[in-house]
Amino acid sequence: MSSMHVLLVSSKYPPEYAGSGYRIDRTWRRLAASTGWSWQVVCNSLEYSGNQAYQWQGIAVQRISCRWRYDARLFQALRTWFEAVATLWWLWRYPAELVYVVGTSSSTAAAILWAQLRRLPLVIELVNTGAEPLQPLPGLAWLWQRYLQPKLQQRTLIIAISDKLRQACQQRFGLTSNIWCRPNPVDEQSFCPADATTRWQLRRQLTPFQETDVVLVWVANFIPGKNQIFLLEVLYQLPAHYKLVLAGPWLQSGPHGARNRDYVVQIKQRIHELQLTERVLLHTEFAVAADYVRLADVVTIPSLAEGLSTPMLEALACGLPVVANGNEPAFQQWIQPGYNGFLPELEASQWADAIRQATTWSLAQRQQFAADIIACASTHVIDRRLVSLLQCLMSLPANATLDVATCH
């Protein structure tokens, strides 16, 4: 299979910022380097409008994005169909031996249909809360459920990045043996415990804060669902030597641009109202996550909903305790309160207490839970298993079902 050609279809792809897009790009670069497989990309976009063929660091990408940006339901349906038909046309031009789908969009829906009709090996990676492997186009849900749902068992691998997504696939679609439940891979070279000297060098380089400060960090898109504004209330409950870094891209274009702009204005206003100007660093540009995480003492994740939260795993791999929203199942799966973090309710005083406790843990404890994550979620571990499963998938007859448990 050294010459296998893969068509990767993603809801978003670089340079548009999305955690899933950058992660899958890195994953396939590693796989191509280790296996010799070739690959190219079809994607949608929220940030950019208009179709465009471009190169992203040597990889051919075809972006399919309708210029219509109306909110009315009819226009949204027409846009979805326009993008789906355009995707099918591009898929016809791009012969591939394997279709690999990431996310949920008009192009991913079209790619799933295409792979099933052509009886191509198919991988569907579920990356967001509520994501499903069956992605019907508007007006055709009944047709998809009757004719395409049974094909989800045939020569298809479903990747669920959390137990919640796995259970939903099992309960709603009756899928069992062909689901691989695994975390997103963590780059063990970039995300590893930093010694005191490295942490201070990064802090001095990227922030105005001091070595003796206790620095809280949250790196994420500035969108309301990431709930950065809540951390200002938490910081207000803590002593003056506690500082906060909020870093990540601020997407001001696309259909949610106005919402995102208003959200950052609200954050800035709240910083001023709480007189936290000297205690908060607001970095609204692309941030190298590893650098910002490794300068922290505690990583705080107040997100309202997450499919998994790769930043949580990356923080744990750095030996940093994580304080996260206790109502989100994705955090409950990985955070062991009192061992590698805490899961308080979204109440500022509870978070402040949890953060204080997390700063008291020993170096040995932090090194242990970092090793736990690397042992099960490193790129080496995840990539090796993925290659094995793809090889098994490619060897199956057209109507056969993959058994993840017996594939080695």
pLDDT (0 to 100) of residue 2? 61
Instruction: Write out the two tokens for 376.
Output: 């099960």
* pLDDT tens string 189-235: 999 999 999 999 999 999 999 999 999 999 998 999 999 999 999 99
- β-sheet bridge partners, residue 270: none
Q: Domain spans of the chain?
A: 5-185+378-406, 196-376
Confidence of residue 374 (pLDDT cuts 50, 70, 90): very high
Average pLDDT over residues 382-405: 95
**Burial class of residue 63 in the structure, from the number of CB atoms within 10 Å of its CB (0-12 exposed, 13-18 middle, 19+ buried):** buried
Q: What angle do CA 323, 27, 178 make, to 5 degrees?
A: 85
Average pLDDT over residues 38-56: 93
**Burial class of residue 203 in the structure, from the number of CB atoms within 10 Å of its CB (0-12 exposed, 13-18 middle, 19+ buried):** buried
CB 137 within 8 A of CB 84: yes
In this predicted structure, the answer to whether residue 263 has a pLDDT above a threshold of 80 is yes
Q: What is the mean pLDDT of the chain?
A: 92
CB 94 within 8 A of CB 7: yes
* pTM summary value: 0.87
- Residue 41: strand, helix, or coil: strand
Q: Say whether 196-376 and 5-185+378-406 share the same fold.
A: yes
CA 20 to chain centre: 4
In this predicted structure, the answer to whether residue 249 has a pLDDT above a threshold of 60 is yes
What Å distances lie between residue 205 and 198, 202, 215, 300, CA to CA? 11, 5, 14, 21
In this predicted structure, the answer to whether residue 1 has a pLDDT above a threshold of 60 is no
Give domain 5-185+378-406's CATH number out of 3.40.50.2000, 3.40.250.10, 3.40.190.10, 1.10.1040.10.
Answer: 3.40.50.2000
**196-376, CATH topology level:** Rossmann fold (3.40.50)
* pLDDT tens string 103-117: 999 999 999 999 998
Instruction: Write out the two tokens for 237.
Output: 């409950």
Q: Is the dihedral of CA 284, 246, 320, 224 positive or negative?
A: negative
- Residue 318: strand, helix, or coil: coil
Q: Provide DSSP, 345-386.
A: -S-HHHHHHHHHHHTT--HHHHHHHHHHHHHHHBHHHHHHHH
Identify each DSSP E strand in 191-328 by its residue range.
214-219, 242-247, 280-283, 298-301, 322-324
Instruction: Write out the two tokens for 223.
Output: 């969108």
